[in-house]
Amino acid sequence: MQDDNRRFVERDRSWHPPAYAPGYKTTVARSPRQALVSMQKPSVSELSGPDFQKLRMGPHDNDLLLNFREDPALTGAAGLPVGERIIMFGRVVDQFDKPVPHTLVEMWQANAGGRYRHKNDNYLASLDPNFGGVGRCLTDEHGWYNFRTIKPGPYPWPNDTNSWRPAHIHISVMGPAISTRLITQMYFEGDPLIPICPIVQTINDKDAVETMIGRLDLPRSNPMDCLAYRFDLVVRGELQTYFENQ
C-alpha cells in the first residue's frame, strides 16, 4: 500500500513564475493582492475526483479533422480543415511515473491561420468552416491519450507593439483528483517564437519551459499523411509539467 504521506506532494512554487510579472501585462491587473491560503491537510475533495469511465464520448471527439465539418457528407479534401495535419499524443502519469487511466483530457487551439473560433477573437485571419478547434478524450488503462488535428498558427496579441504567441495547443487534464487538474500549453519543438514570447519569458527555469514543448516523433507519424508530436503530462510532484500563469 502506498504511504499516505506520498499521496499528496506540495507544489514547488519556485518552479513557477511570480504572479506579478509586468512584462506579461495582464498579470498586473489580475495578480493576487493577498497571501496564498495554506492548506495544512488535504481533504477528501483534494485526494479524490470524478469517475469519467462512463462518460459518453462522440466518435470523433478526439479527431479535429472530422468533428466540425461544415458538411459531413463531403468526401476528400473538400470537407477537411486547411493546414498541416498532425497527431498529438502522450501519457498522463503521476509524480511516481504511474499511469493515470480513464481521466479526461481536453484541448483547444487556434486554426492554421492563428485564429480561434471565439466571439472575442478579432484577428484578421479567416475562420475555417471545417475546423472547430476543440477536442477531448479519455486516457486508456496505461495513461495514453491521442488527438488528430491541424498545427495551429502563431498570432499577434496586444502585450506590446509586436508581441506574438508561438504556435500552441491548450490542454486540460483532470488527473487522479480535483486538486491535480492541470491546464497547460504544448509548444512545438524548434519554434523560434518560444524564447521571445513575453509569457514564456516569465519562466525563469529553462527546464520548466522544456516540459511544455512537444517533441517530433517520426516513428509515430503517418507516412504521406501527418507528423506526430509527443507530449507527456505529469500531474503532480517535482517532475510535474509546468503550467503557465493564467
The residues carrying an active-site annotation are 116, 155, 165, 168, 170
Q: Of the candidates 233, 164, 169, 235, which has an alpha carbon nearest to the alpha carbon of residue 199?
A: 164
Pairing of strands 168-173, 163-165: unpaired
Cα separation, 189 vs 194, in Å, equals 9
Cα separation, 62 vs 146, in Å, equals 7
Phi, psi of 162 (to 5 degrees): -150, 55
Cα separation, 156 vs 114, in Å, equals 9
Handedness of CA 215, 97, 175, 178 (dihedral sign): negative
Lookup: cell for 171: 490542454
Q: How far is CA 169 from CA 11, 66, 183, in A?
A: 24, 18, 11
